[in-house]
Amino acid sequence: MSDVYAEPATAGDPTDPATLARYTTLRLGGPAGRLETAENADQIVLKVQEAEDREQAVLVLAGGSNVVIGDQGFAGTVVLVRSRGFQAVAEDVDTVTVRVEAGEPWDDFVAATVERGWSGLECLSGIPGSAGATPIQNVGAYGQEVSETIVAVEAYDRTERRVVRIPAADCGFVYRGSIFKYSDRWVVLTVDFRLTRSPLSGPVRYAELARALGVEVGDRVPLADARATVRKLRAGKGMVLDAADPDTWSVGSFFTNPVLPGDVFEQVRERAADLGQPPNWPGADGTVKVSAAWLIDKAGFAKGYAGPEGVAISSKHTLALTNRSGTASAAALVALAREIRDGVESRFGVTLHPEPVLINCTI
């Protein structure tokens, strides 16, 4: 399912266009004080400026796939980003630089790059949301991150009230983060990606993907094969949006994989001695990234674990928290997230942190 802007049924009045649950993949969120739609970059800037001139708080919302909005909603102005399209802005023999509008559905864009023989985003197939959201959390999956191909981000600077172009080196990209995340200063308008002209994927880095493709880690495969296999793997985990599958009514991975100092990781290993080796990946400066899904499962929260009001861990993937009933409250989902976080901390001494942005709610 690539149309991430389809309006699902929600708790409350599903015909009320101001109910923000209509615009999030979790199908959660109360009313907006004011709802505006922006269909291009100029309109995005204008709608934000007009709200600021009214001295209203502003929430910019595109695909709604990485946000949890509280039951009280958002009392200010919500700007729905619906800009579309992409174009090549620079080319040479080996590469093409593509500028994509913030509201372009991400998976549609990835599909288009694969069809054109542009390599670099194929392993990010099937991820819901908009292109403009990808630099905010440095979206990554199956061995690729958008920071590897982003050249620059065009954004509206709400502090200086002007449009700026920020080179990738100044975006502060880190694991699932950037200068844009948890900051309302920047409103992403367009993103430039430099992609390689090649019918083959980048080297396959992720062991699970390599096994599914029947190749070795480091091998390259046809772009279409990489995309199809990634989408199949994601669908098997409930990570491709499907209106008929409540396991996909989520924000994908709710918690990030914790990156621990080496000594803290050794303490986790000691606490987990009776459970086997936690899946882990060495990082910079002696740090170790640990599987949050493994920690959650071993702390007693298995796939399908149910919380109040029909919220539950996905039956397909331990990291996804779902609004399976379609009628739950954000408070119920937050309560389940808090229970899981506290349980993991009690069992392993590790505090998990949410990946989505939380609006008027907290765990």
Q: Which residues are catalytic?
A: 176, 253, 355
As a whole number of angstroms, the distance between CA 197 and CA 119 comes to 6
Q: In terms of Cα–Cα distance, which of 194, 55, 191 is closest to 136?
A: 191
Structure tokens of 196? 């390689």
Measured in degrees and rounded to the nearest 5, phi and psi for residue 152 equal: -160, 160
The one-character DSSP state at 227 is: H
Q: Which helix (H) or strand (E) holds 344?
A: helix 330-348
As a whole number of angstroms, the distance between CA 69 and CA 81 comes to 17
As a whole number of angstroms, the distance between CA 363 and CA 355 comes to 12
3-state secondary structure of 141: strand
Q: Are 165 and 154 in contact (CB under 8 A)?
A: yes
3-state secondary structure of 290: strand
Q: Are 43 and 82 in contact (CB under 8 A)?
A: no
As a whole number of angstroms, the distance between CA 177 and CA 207 comes to 24
HEC-encoded secondary structure of 94-110: CEEEEEEECCCEHHHHH
As a whole number of angstroms, the distance between CA 138 and CA 231 comes to 19
Measured in degrees and rounded to the nearest 5, phi and psi for residue 190 equal: -145, 160
> Concatenated DSSP letters for 152-172?
EEEEEETTTTEEEEEEGGGS-
Burial 230-256 (b: 16+ CB within 10 A, else e): bbebbbebbbbbeeebbbbbbbbbbbb
